[in-house]
Amino acid sequence: MNHFGYKGGVLSAEDVGLPALAARVGTPFYCYSRATLERHYKVFAGALPKESLVAFSVKANGNLAVLKTLALLGAGADVVSGGELAKALAAGIPAERIVFSGVGKTKEEMHQALTAGIYQFNVESEPELLALDEVARELNKRAPITLRINPDVDARTHAKITTGTAETKFGIPFARAREAYARAASLHNVEIVGIDVHIGSQLTELAPFEAAFEKVAALAKTLRADGHSITRLDLGGGLGVPYENNNMPPPDPAAYGKMVARATDQLGCRLIFEPGRLIAANAGVLVAKVLYVKEGEAKNFLILDAGMNDLIRPAMYDAHHEIVPVKEPVPGAERVVYDVVGPVCETSDLFAAGRALPELKSGDLVAILSTGAYGATMASSYNARPPAPEVLVSAAEWAIVRPRLRHDDLIGQDRLPDWLG
């Protein structure tokens, strides 16, 4: 469920009509619903075993207003860079609710996180383990760690968002887990606290999760027998969302929570989860204006003022996003088949191919749905196009939570060397 729907003939975010926002903010722009963010967090967190830590994946949506909304509900943060750590702290998420993931943590980032006092590091390789021990020793600290173990489970999702099979860059191979934990135990400035696993994103079935979690539960028992203190299990994120109206919905959080309990309840571990898409995707839309309707020999093109620099998921992943007119169509309105494209100078700047939509004309507004996750965070200024600004709605109130950059802002990021005169 989300809080976007037609009211008075126009698509609204909670109690705010999107045409009114477009008139004030300009297009394109992202719009987030506070009520949807809060509902999704509460439904997911409420389905989990007690005392679980829900660490929102900042890479999904790093806007400070979004992070603050979740922080007020008790959310932690899963970060993968020093910048994301700084954002989480700035949004009021306590360091003791922050976990640091990612395969390429630098020593500077380790220093930053250790100084902040984060909850744990999810270590992804033996070389990273040694580097962390070195940095912790210099600071006279012990770094709390889990090792990310790759269970070699096929997530049955898109190849570019699969992370738990043997051929990905993520994690330590399952066969080397005991060896890696023995190495960690020999170091003086890291403290083993648990196991981390993450098999991928946008999973629409429970079976891959269950297979991975059962392997991790068995590993926990083995590692305890080896003398290691395993008190936490970080089970990652990845639960999918319904991007298409006509597809089968992913498992609901209640079913997921019951499966987690079956796999882990005998271990007595604190559980950590890292949802991103599940919380934020359907809490956001990208509003764009139709610039032109171009009639080709074989196709009709709907050219929007939003481009792949604003939303790259369709170009990168062939991702499907529903597209709807902001003005409510009349029942039974005639549909026209369009290729929905942007203005970026790339053939891949395509939001939808062969999409049947109510007939649209220049100046009409459309909303690209389910863009609250991995939309704005993956945006760029390609073609010197300032990325779309972001707006947060709360009931009848709204605020710009990331302003639109001006061309002068983009130009001001560059520097001319003195020798160019």
pLDDT, one tens digit per residue, over 120-140 is 999 999 999 999 999 999 999
Band of pLDDT at residue 369, cut at 50, 70 and 90: very high
The CATH number assigned to the domain holding 202 equals 3.20.20.10
Overall domain count for the chain: 2
> What would the mean pLDDT of 19-24 be, rounded to a whole number?
98
Last residue of a domain, one of 242, 273, 304: 273
Last residue of a domain, one of 218, 241, 273: 273
In a domain, 49, yes or no: no
Is the confidence at residue 157, as pLDDT, over 60?
no
Q: What ranges in 147-193 are assigned the alpha helix state H?
A: 177-185
243 compared with 397, residue with greater pLDDT: 397
> What would the mean pLDDT of 4-14 be, rounded to a whole number?
97
Last residue of a domain, one of 273, 297, 322: 273
Element spanning 115, H or E: helix 107-116
> What would the mean pLDDT of 49-68 be, rounded to a whole number?
97
The CATH number assigned to the domain holding 358 equals 2.40.37.10
Quickly count: other Cβ atoms within 10 Å of residue 279's Cβ: 31
- Let me know whether 264 and 348 are in one domain: no
> What would the mean pLDDT of 39-57 be, rounded to a whole number?
97
- Let me know whether 106 and 203 are in one domain: yes
Question: What backbone torsions phi and psi does residue 272 show, to the nearest 5 degrees?
Answer: -125, 135
Are 215 and 174 spatial neighbours (Cβ–Cβ below 8 Å)? yes
What's the DSSP call for residue 239? B
- Identity of the residue numbered 288: A
CA 337 to chain centre: 31
- Let me know whether 330 and 261 are in one domain: no
**β-pair partners for 323:** 368
Q: To 10 degrees, what angle do helices 207-225 and 253-264 make? A: 30
- Let me know whether 406 and 295 are in one domain: yes
In a domain, 23, yes or no: yes
Instruction: Supply 61's token pair.
Output: 């949506």
Is the confidence at residue 253, as pLDDT, over 80?
yes
Band of pLDDT at residue 246, cut at 50, 70 and 90: low
In a domain, 293, yes or no: yes
> What would the mean pLDDT of 339-344 be, rounded to a whole number?
98
> What would the mean pLDDT of 317-342 be, rounded to a whole number?
96
Are 236 and 199 spatial neighbours (Cβ–Cβ below 8 Å)? yes
Instruction: Supply 124's token pair.
Output: 């992804």
In a domain, 60, yes or no: no
Residue 356 makes CB contacts below 8 A (sequence gap 6+) with: 335, 336, 337, 338
Say what the pLDDT of residue 161 is. 42
> What would the mean pLDDT of 346-352 be, rounded to a whole number?
97
Residue 240 makes CB contacts below 8 A (sequence gap 6+) with: 157, 201, 202, 203, 204, 250, 277, 278
- Let me know whether 304 and 375 are in one domain: yes
Band of pLDDT at residue 297, cut at 50, 70 and 90: confident
In a domain, 396, yes or no: yes
117-152: b or e for each residue (b if 16 or more CB lie within 10 Å)? ebbbbbbbbeebbebbbebbeeeebebbbbbbbbbb
247 compared with 113, residue with greater pLDDT: 113
Over residues 190-220, the pLDDT tens digits come to 999 999 999 887 888 899 899 999 999 999 9
Say what the pLDDT of residue 234 is. 97
Say what the pLDDT of residue 128 is. 97
Percent of the chain whose predicted confidence (pLDDT) is above 70: 95
Quickly count: other Cβ atoms within 10 Å of residue 35's Cβ: 18
Is the confidence at residue 106, as pLDDT, over 90?
yes
Residue 364 makes CB contacts below 8 A (sequence gap 6+) with: 289, 290, 325, 326, 327
- Let me know whether 150 and 295 are in one domain: no
Is the confidence at residue 363, as pLDDT, over 50?
yes
> What would the mean pLDDT of 311-336 be, rounded to a whole number?
95
Say what the pLDDT of residue 378 is. 97
Q: To 10 degrees, what angle do helices 253-264 and 34-46 make? A: 30
- Let me know whether 355 and 296 are in one domain: yes
Is the confidence at residue 167, as pLDDT, over 50?
yes
In a domain, 211, yes or no: yes
- Let me know whether 239 and 290 are in one domain: no
Are 203 and 209 spatial neighbours (Cβ–Cβ below 8 Å)? yes
- Let me know whether 178 and 249 are in one domain: yes
- Let me know whether 149 and 292 are in one domain: no
Residue entry with tokens 């639960």: 239
Band of pLDDT at residue 162, cut at 50, 70 and 90: very low
| Number of residues in the chain | 421
Is the confidence at residue 155, as pLDDT, over 60?
no
In a domain, 36, yes or no: no
Average pLDDT for the chain: 94
Whether 31 is catalytic: no
- Let me know whether 117 and 260 are in one domain: yes
Residue entry with tokens 């790339």: 346
Q: Which domain holds residue 158?
A: 102-273
CA 369 to chain centre: 15
- Let me know whether 291 and 244 are in one domain: no
Nearest 5°: CA angle at 112, between 107 and 114?
90
Band of pLDDT at residue 158, cut at 50, 70 and 90: very low
> What would the mean pLDDT of 229-252 be, rounded to a whole number?
85
> What would the mean pLDDT of 27-50 be, rounded to a whole number?
97
Catalytic-role residue among 345, 396, 411, 420: 345
Is the confidence at residue 57, as pLDDT, over 80?
yes
- Identity of the residue numbered 44: F
Is the confidence at residue 306, as pLDDT, over 60?
yes
Spatial separation of the C-alpha atoms in residues 359 and 336, rounded to whole Å: 6
Element spanning 43, H or E: helix 34-46
In a domain, 95, yes or no: no
